[in-house]
Chains A and B, each alone.
Chain A
Amino acid sequence: MRRMAPREFAAALPALSAIPVLPLYLSYLGGDMRAIGPKKPASAVELLMSVVRLEYRNVTMRFAQKGDRGALTALRGVSFAVGDGEVVALIGPSGCGKSTLLNIGSGLSAPSEGTALVDGERVAGANAQVAFMLQKDLLLPWRTVAENVMLGVEIQSLPAPERRQRAQKLLANFSLGEFAGHYPHQLSGGMRQRVALARTLAVDPHVLLLDEPFSAVDAQTRMVLQRDLAQTLSKARKTALLITHDLLEAVTMSDRVLVMSGRPGTIIDEIAIELPARDDPIARRRDPKVNDYVARLMDRLDIGRVALDIQAASA
């Protein structure tokens, strides 16, 4: 657990007064207290990890509907925080506003109420610290693999030699080096998704927002991609919010799983995944305890009952 109670934090304060990120943590203390885990003594390193990278404070989102049907509330009072280097999975029924949360976090849309914060600063419009990746690879067919990876850094006007270097390095990491000059249509689905991941990482974001990144690839490729992503996240100490429908993916890839209710979406549960090897989802899959977590998530989502309700409603 990366969290600690304020009293213990105060005790550790003198040792940490030199750390410039402290105000961030202090701002976090004023935020969502529910996200703070069980008491456990923390080392300085662990406290550093508790710097909040991404936070949603009481976020509500309403959309206008056609005609006189009033506003549709997609999200209601959503609050949670993701610490530095932490991977949090978000699961919930379809249409519960998961993707809306992602749009708010990346600054593409503004919440009706509440705020999203990245590195302690209110998100107002797109910002360079956040990058997102969707189920669709969104590769541009007229750009080569390397040029696709460079899209973000090119938009952000990084000098050409530097962006080429970054693309080369990332592609080599994802064993795509020899495909740098290929066009997207020459690649398999799994490779394309890896290129998309490289493009997301190329801008060197603090926070990655991942919206079902692997749901469009086949099951075996997905496992490999999950492992690649998990290793990258852990090696580069990236913070990530992983939206997924796949309960197993949520459990094997994250430190914490947040469960959302149906519309209007709100956080109804938070389950800490206390398993080793977050950087190796394939190893985690073999761990029998994973099944218990998945079972718990199924219960929280009322998966059996919801299906029956749908049948009853359609009868």
Chain B
Amino acid sequence: MTGDARASLIRKGTLASVLLLIVFLAGWQWGPGLLGVPSFIVPPLSMVAREFVHAWRFDNLFYHTGVTVAEVLAGFVLGSLLGAFVGYLLGMSRVAEFALSPYILALQIAPKVAFAPLFILWMGFTVYPKILVAILIVFFPVLVNVLTAIRGVDPDLINLARAFKATRGQIFWKIEFPTSMPSLFAGLRIGSTLAVVGVVVGELVGGNEGLGYLLTLGEGQGDTPMVFVSIVMLTLVGAIAYLGVILAERRVLHYLPARSVGTDL
């Protein structure tokens, strides 16, 4: 694609995107009234905006958001580190992979969010069960992506390094680890959105902090606008986490042709 064609695509695409947003917001504001949907089912945009200000002033909205962000961050970082570590370990050892793969598969199939009540039983109404659910849910996509990448390293590349008398450590750090980077980041992208899911489920199940708690609070009080506010904030948290991964990916994978990185944002 030439520079001009690309610039034109970006211009047209942005315009269409902004138009779509305006149509969506207008539909949200006036659609329910026109269709006769009561405001306790779908509150119009202005009502949600008012609720946002109210929640900010009287319901500690930003405090709860901060708690959720901290949990997401902790769960995502720890889960990715753990997943990557185990992925590289299994990638280095065929025996370990063979021995552990049935259990990993079983754990991967088990719905991770179902562990939330168990963790709350273990650790009480603290932030830890939420972080643990996030760790568990982030762990697998990162592990699987890393493992697949290590398995997929071109054996000729390994042979090239071996012919230069590379040690096992050199082969890992100079060939295998950098080769796995694009896959690792694909795993991190998935993980960043899943971390939010894990944390929210944990907060829904028990506790009195975080956006998940505000969700149950709103539900209990029949306060639909509060539920909407919480959903919007959660989406924002997820989007920022995802964007963070994309930005890091662009920095790390700068050597790849521009088109293959981050354009599917």
* A residues adjacent to B (C-beta < 8 A): 103, 106-108, 126-128, 130-132, 134, 136, 138, 140-143, 151-152, 154-156, 183, 185, 203
Contact = CB atoms under 8 A, between A and B. Distances in A.
Contacts of B175: 140
Given A108-B159, A138-B154, A126 B164 contact: yes
Given A151-B174, A183-B255, A130 B156 contact: no
B169 to A, nearest CB: 11
Contacts of B154: 136, 138
B256 A141 contact: yes
A156 B256 contact: no
Contacts of B101: none
Contacts of B170: 155
A154 B174 CA distance: 10
Interface string B164-195: 11100010001100100100000000000000
B145 to A, nearest CB: 17
B255 A155 contact: no
**Closest 9 A-B residue pairs measured CB to CB?**
A152-B164, A155-B164, A155-B166, A142-B255, A183-B255, A106-B163, A126-B165, A142-B178, A126-B163
Given A141-B256, A185-B256, A203 B164 contact: yes
Interface string B119-143: 0000000000000000000000000
B220 interface: no
A170 B207 CA distance: 65
Contacts of A108: 159, 162-163
Contacts of B161: 151, 155
B239 interface: no
B3 interface: no
A130 B166 CA distance: 14
User: Size class of B's contact patch?
Assistant: 20 to 34
B232 interface: no
Nearest to B170: A155
Contacts of A128: 165
Given A155-B170, A155-B174, A183-B255, A138 B156 contact: yes
Nearest to A141: B255
Contacts of B256: 141, 185
19 contacts: A126-B162, A134-B156, A136-B156, A138-B154, A138-B157, A138-B160, A140-B157, A140-B178, A142-B178, A142-B181, A151-B164, A152-B164, A154-B174, A155-B164, A155-B174, A156-B164, A183-B255, A185-B255, A185-B257
B257 A132 contact: no
Which of A108, A143, A154, A155 has the most CB atoms of chain B within a 10 A radius of its CB?
A: A155
Contacts of A138: 154, 156-157, 160
Contacts of B164: 126, 131, 151-152, 155-156, 203
Contacts of A141: 255-256
Contacts of A185: 255-257
A127 B162 CA distance: 9
A131 B164 CA distance: 7
Nearest to A109: B159
A152 B170 CA distance: 11
